[in-house]
Structure formats: C-alpha cells, structure tokens
Amino acid sequence: MRTPTSRRRRPHIAGGSPVWLFDLDNTLHRASHAIFPAINKGMTQYIIDTLQVDIDEANRLRSGYTQRYGAALLGLTRHHPLDGEDFLKVVHTFPDLGAMIRHERGVARLVAALPGRKIVLTNAPEKYARAVLAELRIERLFEQVIAIEHMRDRHFWRAKPDHAMLRKTMRDAHVSLKDVILVEDTRSHLKNYRRLGIRTVWITGHLPRKPHADGIPTRLPGTGRPHYVDRTIRSLKSLRLGTRSVRWKGQQPGRQPCSRSTNLTKP
C-alpha cells in the first residue's frame, strides 16, 4: 500500500543526543543591521570590477545566483572567470567588524546552556565566521565551524542547502541526521533540509521588517509557521526555554492539535 504524499513529505524523526547545527548570520547575530548591506555592496562592486558590467547587471547576477544556488559565489564561479577564494576574502573583510555586530544579550550564556554538541554551518568563509564568533565570545562553545570552503568538492563549490554536502559534512563529523537540530533564518534552507529528516528551528528575530505599504503595517517576520518548520522562535532565549517542552507540528490530517508537548532534544 502506498504511503500518503503528506506522510512522505514529513519523515519520522527519532531524535537522540542533540547536535545543534547553527547558521551564523542573522541567527547568532543580527547581520541585517550592517554586515549584510556591506557584503551585498562589496559583492556588487567586485562583480562590476571583475566582469566589467554595470551596477544593474551586477545586482541582477548577485541576487539571481543567490536565489538559484544558495550563495552568489556558486553561480559566479560556475558561469564566469572569477577567483572564488579572492571573492570571499574581499567581500567578507571588515576592519571595523566589532562595531558592526549586533546580537542578543547574553548570547554566550544562552548557547552554552543548550544540551548536546554544537556546530556552526555557514555559507560564509571560515576566517569571517571565526572573527564573528570571537566578537560574540562564543567560538569556544562550538566544536567545529563548517564554512563554505569545507563544503567544496573536487569539481564545484557547494553551499547550503545542498543535500549531498550536508550528508558528507555530517558524516565527517560523526553526526547522524536524526540527531540534528538545524537553527537557521533562511526558510529555503530549512525546507530543503527538513526533507532529510532533521529537526528544524526557524529563528526570525534578526530578520529585517519590510516597510509599511500604503500606511498599513506589514506582518512581522516569522509570523506563522511553515509545514517544514518544527519550531519558530524570535530569540535564542526562546530556544533555550523550548528545549524542555515544545509543541511539534505534524499532527495527522483530520486531527485537532494535541495539547501534549513533545521534547525537542529527546526521542
């Protein structure tokens, strides 16, 4: 007998000892405040200088490749004569990084309080990622930083949300996918990786709020919860409070939501 489509899309999750897989930007700190605008500006200028195109074409390439591949770097290196390592270095170097960072109060204490192993998985380069973690004073809390350089294979650069890359990096780290809890601000990454059976947490507190339209306030980022998200939180504090007792989605069709809570970090 065939399994209903809705059940195939929501694989059974049997968690063991938790392995927290944290994104970096807009997850552990508010990159949308100053860092993302600076990175976008730097990427656009690099494309202009290297490919000899105008600013409109450079922005089109940057945004288009980001949407298509998950990182602009992947499209630029696949379709243009561009040095990926130089690109990463130039657009992620900030002499005043400390002044650009905004983060949740007590971030080190909140991360340290989470049970289980902790790993950073980011499409940013390692040097930048470690510099941010050092500014946040949380680098020692993570056993590993998996940056975009570590996702590369013999033929291509890879990045989130590539399935083969995640399987390989988790295998190399001796992590079972059923034990992974991905904390991430990018919904497309959560959607793609939820299909592998990992648990997903969408953090929304650092997402920029869109301007009002015709005087009508726009919806707060993260309002509601997509079917591929197990939990939606606005802050790391909420994540800590939710490790004991959180409500999961995924009730069977036709049933009313259950009032019983399910532990996020245990089977």
Do both 13 and 39 map to the same domain? no
Domain span at 233: 5-31+106-210+221-241
CATH number at residue 123: 3.40.50.1000
Does residue 73 sit within a domain? yes
Mean pLDDT for 75-80 is 96
CATH number at residue 82: 1.10.150.450
User: Phi and psi for 37 in degrees, rounded to 5?
Assistant: -60, -40
User: Phi and psi for 154 in degrees, rounded to 5?
Assistant: -70, -20
As a whole number of angstroms, the distance between CA 53 and CA 255 comes to 56
Does residue 255 sit within a domain? no
As a whole number of angstroms, the distance between CA 247 and CA 261 comes to 5
Q: Does 161 sit behind a cis peptide bond, omega within 30 degrees of 0 on the bond before it?
A: yes
Instruction: Say if CB 110 and CB 237 are below 8 A apart.
Output: yes
- Of the three residues 80, 97, 114, the one that is the final residue of a domain is 97
As a whole number of angstroms, the distance between CA 49 and CA 114 comes to 44
In this predicted structure, the answer to whether residue 260 has a pLDDT above a threshold of 50 is no
| 125-182 confidence digits (pLDDT tens) | 999 999 999 999 999 999 999 999 999 988 889 999 999 999 999 999 999 999 999 9
pLDDT of residue 211: 53
pLDDT of residue 242: 57
Does residue 14 sit within a domain? yes
How many beta carbons lie within 10 A of that of residue 156, not counting itself? 14
Count of structural domains within the chain: 2
What is the model's pTM?
Answer: 0.81
Mean pLDDT for 61-76 is 95
List, in sequence order, every residue forming a beta bridge with 200; answer none if it has no partner: 182
Mean pLDDT in the chain? 84
- Of 139, 113, 127, give the one whose Cα is nearest residue 243: 113
- Of 157, 183, 187, give the one whose Cα is nearest residue 73: 157
In this predicted structure, the answer to whether residue 267 has a pLDDT above a threshold of 80 is no
As a whole number of angstroms, the distance between CA 47 and CA 115 comes to 43
Q: Which residue has the higher pLDDT, 198 or 216?
A: 198
Does residue 266 sit within a domain? no
**256 pLDDT tier (thresholds 50, 70, 90):** very low
Does residue 257 sit within a domain? no
How far, CA to CA in Å, does 85 sit from each of 76, 88, 126, 153? 12, 5, 11, 14
pLDDT of residue 14: 40
Does residue 111 sit within a domain? yes
Share of the chain above pLDDT 90, in %: 72
Q: Where are the beta strands (DSSP E) in the chain?
A: 19-22, 117-121, 144-146, 180-184, 199-203, 231-233
Do both 42 and 20 map to the same domain? no
Does residue 26 sit within a domain? yes
In this predicted structure, the answer to whether residue 112 has a pLDDT above a threshold of 90 is yes
